[in-house]
Each structure stands twice: as C-alpha cells, then as structure tokens.
Chains A and B, each alone.
Chain A
Amino acid sequence: MPRRIQALLLVCICTGSLFAQDLEGIQIHGFATQGFLFSSNNNYLSMKSSEGSLEWTEGAVSFIDSLAQKLRVGIQLHMYQLGELGAPNIQVDWASGDYKINDSLGFRGGKVKTAIGLFNDSQDVDAIHLWILLPQAMYPIDNKSFMLSHLGGEVYGEFARGSRAGTVLYRGYAGQANLDLTGGYVKLLAEVGLVFTTPPGGKIYGGDLRWATPLKGLMVGSSAHAQAVDGTAPAGVLHISPFLVNAEYAQFEKGKLYVAGEYRRTPVNVTLTFGPALVLIPFDQRAWFVMGSYRISEQFHLGTYYSHYVVKGTDTALPGNYSRDWVVSGRYNFNSYFYAKLEGHFLHGTGLGYYVSTNPGGLKPNSNMLAAKIGFSF
C-alpha cells in the first residue's frame, strides 16, 4: 500500500476520533476503505485479481463550513489506489461554494459533482451504498474520477407541487471535465500508443430532472449532458467531438425494500491521429441495470442486480463488445462507523474493466469474481 494512502487512512481514523464534532464551525468528515478482489479468470480493473488482490484502497476527508445562512463552502480531498490506477496523487473530489437563495434556486461554483443518473455524484461514497461495485456499465470504478465532477458551475433547486403532484428537483451545469491522468481511459489510450502528460478534456453541459411522485417511495428522473474531449500526446492526438449522454431512471422504496433501474446511451466517436494516420472508432454504447435490495435488519442488508452493456453497431457476439454482470451482495454494519461488504460477480463478456497490461495472454470470455471490502466512515 503506498505510503500516502497509509497516511490518508491514518488521518481519516485519527480525525474521526479527534474531530467527530464541529471544529470552530468547520465540519470534518471522512471515510476509508480497503478492498479485496479475486477472479476465476482474467485480471479485472488493472488488479492481479486472478491471484487475489488487495490493491484497492481509498480514502477521503472533507471540510465544510457554513459561512452564512445561505452560503456554504467546502472541499473534499480524495486518494485511491485501484491496481495500477490512482495513487499516489491526492485529488480534489470537489471544492465549491454553495449559495442557496431559497429552496427553488441555488448556485454552486468550483469543482462540483456531475449529476447524471441515479448514482453518479455519489459513486465515490462507498459508505452509503450496499454494493462494492456499482453497475459498471454506467458507473465504471476505473474512470470515476473523470465522471464524478467538473470544474464550473451548477444551478439547482426544487419545486414542491403539493401532495397531488409531488416534488420536482432540477440541476443544470456547465464547465470543463478532464480525464484523470491516473485513470482507466488514459491507461487504455496509453496501451494504444497515446501517452498523455497533460490530461485531455473538454467542455461539459448538462442537467438532471427528477420527480418524487405522489406515489410514496417512487422517484423517476432523466439526465443528459454533452461532453467533448480533446488532448495531445507526443505520439498523436485524441479528438472526441461533443456527444450527448442521456440517462433515464427510476427507484422505488417501500419500508426495507428498494428497487431501481436505469438506462443510458453514450454514443461516442473517437478519432485518434498518429502522424498522417487517422483512426476512427465509433462507440454507440447502450447500458442498463435493474437492482433490488432488502434490509434484513439495521445491521444486515442484502441485494442483487443485473448490469448490461453492449456496443451497438459492432459484432455483439464478440465478448469484447459486451459485458453482462449478475451480482449478489451483502453488507453488515458493525456500528455507525464500521462496515463490511461481500459481493459475488458472474461476469460475461470483456467489454469493460480489462487492460492489456494486466492480461498479456489475452482474455477468457467469462469470469466469476468475489469482492470484499471493509470500510470506516465518520
């Protein structure tokens, strides 16, 4: 485990015991997790998972201060190691000023979380999820730092339409999103010869609209954003013209039961230029998932989901063009701060989460996996 991650974990734990309460009005919170992954075939997520890997550590600390009734500022520092991805840099997850005029209108500026789908803006917060891995078709853990937030601004608010019409929440945003130099997309590009020293990126515009319906527990929503990515490496150029990602989703909660589903389309046209050679790679990615969970008790929580990913317009019989994942998951809360998770994956296809560098001998089409995680949050 890299020393910086060890240091961050130590800070998280010490901070938890020393500053569980406000410090002169500044709230300090954090979390730390350690994961383990074992796969029957292939090495997943750049870990040597076929041998069993512990190279999966994460931690974050956030500082929040309410300067006035309407104004709040905060920052969250984040560090992770996932196989060959992540460490050693400390990243800024988000750092923003939040000015809420009233419940219908507020503004955030700085590095703000990107709202798309059910879980995008919370995908890094392991402590609040039952799942160790969220559906990778939409929330790929090896690229979460790119998808998680952007530099720019956001307008948000909600309109309560009364008991017969429910409540509508909206978020609209614009800014700049850059790839993580230690993340999965940059690693994939390096594997085809484009080694970036400055992160490729581009403008992002989008919004999210969700409706808490009059039917108790049912929420439906839709998100969309347009994103462009450009970057120059010594060996060539990456260009992705603006593409529109759209997501539709719904969730229903009743007592201890939770069910949710989401559909997303991401049509991307990637252009790679190596000197005079031009390589065009169209990716019309379609993904969806359905999930359900049940809280057996305050401590114990069980769930399952199915995640589906396919690249349309290609030979979808080839394992590299699809990924289908059946998942069974359990979580146990030891107390308010510590928890453990165990998860089984039955993964078909190799369309997501695999890298040449950790699979030099090629990939088998299917793999079963066992993931475990312990976490601490305060």
Chain B
Amino acid sequence: MRETRLLILLLGLISGWSAAAAQDVVVVANRGVQISQITSDDLRDIFTGVKSRFRDGSYAVPVTLKGGPAHEVFLQHHIGESPDAFRAAWRKAVFTGQGAMLRAFDSEATLLEYVAATPGAVGYVSKLSPQDSVKSLTVLRTYKTAKTNNNGH
C-alpha cells in the first residue's frame, strides 16, 4: 500500500513536471497571423511539413531553434519527436527532394527578430523571453493521428 502511494506520488510529480515544461515554452507567430489559437495537430503538421498553411488559409513559415531546453521541450510536447528524429525527418525530406530544411536559429532573440519581421512566421521560445514584438498562440490539445513520414527507420 505504501509502495503504491509512493508510485502515485512519483507519477504525479513526473506528469506535473511534464505539464510545467510544456507551459514553459510559448508558441509565437508574426503579428500579421490572423489566428490566436492553433490545434496541436495543426502545429505538428506545420512543423513536420505536412501542412503549409494555418487554418485561416494564410501561409505558414515555421522556424526552429538549433537546440537548447526550449527546443527539446517544444519537440517533445508539441511535435512528439526527439530532436534527432525531428532532424532525421527533415533530412529525409531534403535528400528526397520533397522539402527544404526549416530555418533554425542559434538564439531565441534572433528567432524572435525573424518571426517579428517575416509574414506567416511561427516559432517558439521559452516563457522568459520577451514577446512584445510577436503574437503568442494558444495551443489547443487535439486528437493526434499517425505520422505520415517514414523518419529514421
């Protein structure tokens, strides 16, 4: 009984940490983007190259960070992939002639600068970064379907 309680407590802590980590990353977009909410399915499809437009029909320009905690949390919680698997999927698109690698930035400051200046741009930063120049998008959790790319196998 005591072990069960400990396990429940541990699971609670882990899921609590996980949710907190997801909330520590903010999805940001150019101010010209009309939507203020985006479903997790749409976000995933845009960052994996399956979709090229937001739900309102406007063109999306997804951008990423090259690495770091915000990058890892975003991929894990919103895309459902590890950084390596994400990179492998885009490498496949590049080397099969089906896509171009997403523009990636060394720092959150340069990513924010690009998003602010580029119509349709969408990216992510940690909650602590200033987001005055961009628009924050609320991510709505939705039902996820299968991946449509064969990445890394």
Contacts of A94 in B (CB 8 A): 96-97
A128 and B151 form a contact (CB under 8 A): yes
Contacts of B144 in A (CB 8 A): 216
Q: Which of B2-10, B11-19, B87-95 contacts A (4 or more CB under 8 A)?
A: B87-95
Contacts of A22 in B (CB 8 A): 103
User: Restricting to B42-87, which residues have a CB under 8 Å from any CB of A?
Assistant: 45, 50-53, 59, 82-84, 87
A64 and B94 form a contact (CB under 8 A): yes
Interface residues on A, range: 35 or more
User: Restricting to B129-153, which residues have a CB under 8 Å from any CB of A?
Assistant: 142-148, 150-153
Contacts of A27 in B (CB 8 A): 94, 100-101
B148 and A60 form a contact (CB under 8 A): no
Contacts of A17 in B (CB 8 A): none
Contact flag A100-B100 (CB < 8 Å), given A212-B146, A219-B147: no
A130 and B152 form a contact (CB under 8 A): yes
A127 to B95, CA, bound (A): 10
Residue A212 contacts which of B59, B83, B147, B151 (CB distance < 8 angstroms)?
Answer: B147
A103 and B53 form a contact (CB under 8 A): yes
Contacts of B82 in A (CB 8 A): 295, 298
* Interface status of A29 (Cβ within 8 A of chain B): yes
A336 and B91 form a contact (CB under 8 A): no
* Interface status of B24 (Cβ within 8 A of chain A): no
B147 and A217 form a contact (CB under 8 A): yes
Contact flag A166-B151 (CB < 8 Å), given A27-B101, A64-B94, A128-B88: no
Residue A62 contacts which of B59, B95, B143, B148 (CB distance < 8 angstroms)?
Answer: B95
B153 and A129 form a contact (CB under 8 A): yes
* Interface status of A264 (Cβ within 8 A of chain B): no
Residue A213 contacts which of B146, B150, B151 (CB distance < 8 angstroms)?
Answer: B146
A214 to B91, CA, bound (A): 26
* Interface status of A158 (Cβ within 8 A of chain B): yes
* Interface status of A13 (Cβ within 8 A of chain B): no
Q: Which residue of B lies closest to A124 (CB)?
A: B95
A125 and B92 form a contact (CB under 8 A): yes
A167 to B94, CA, bound (A): 22
Q: Which residue of B lies closest to A166 (CB)?
A: B145
* Interface status of A108 (Cβ within 8 A of chain B): yes
Main secondary structure of the interface of B (DSSP, over half): loop
Residue A130 contacts which of B45, B83, B94, B153 (CB distance < 8 angstroms)?
Answer: B153
A128 and B148 form a contact (CB under 8 A): no
B53 and A251 form a contact (CB under 8 A): no
User: Restricting to A28-66, which residues have a CB under 8 Å from any CB of B?
Assistant: 29, 31, 60, 62, 64, 66
A210 and B96 form a contact (CB under 8 A): no
A72 and B146 form a contact (CB under 8 A): no
Contacts of B96 in A (CB 8 A): 94, 113, 121-122, 125
A127 and B91 form a contact (CB under 8 A): yes
A333 and B84 form a contact (CB under 8 A): yes
Q: Which of B99, B143, B145 has the most CB of A within 10 A?
A: B145
Shortest beta-carbon distance from B150 to chain A in Å: 6
B146 and A219 form a contact (CB under 8 A): yes
Shortest beta-carbon distance from A160 to chain B in Å: 8
- Binary interface encoding of chain B residues 97-133 relative to chain A, with 1 for a CB under 8 A from any of its CBs, else 0: 1111101000000000000000000000000000000
Q: Which residue of B lies closest to A72 (CB)?
A: B100
A69 to B98, CA, bound (A): 14
Contact flag A260-B153 (CB < 8 Å), given A69-B59, A113-B97, A298-B82: yes
A333 to B87, CA, bound (A): 13
Q: Which residue of B lies closest to A111 (CB)?
A: B97
Shortest beta-carbon distance from B30 to chain A in Å: 14
* Interface status of A199 (Cβ within 8 A of chain B): no
* Interface status of A285 (Cβ within 8 A of chain B): no
Residue A118 contacts which of B97, B103, B147, B150 (CB distance < 8 angstroms)?
Answer: B150
Q: Which residue of B lies closest to A110 (CB)?
A: B97
A76 to B98, CA, bound (A): 12
A305 to B47, CA, bound (A): 31
* Interface status of A74 (Cβ within 8 A of chain B): yes
A336 to B148, CA, bound (A): 23
A258 to B147, CA, bound (A): 12
A124 to B97, CA, bound (A): 12
Contact flag A158-B50 (CB < 8 Å), given A219-B147, A333-B84: yes
Contacts of A372 in B (CB 8 A): none
Q: Which of B53, B59, B150 has the most CB of A within 10 A?
A: B150
13 contacts between A and B (CB under 8 A): A31-B95, A94-B97, A113-B97, A119-B150, A122-B92, A127-B88, A128-B92, A130-B153, A167-B148, A210-B148, A216-B146, A219-B146, A251-B150
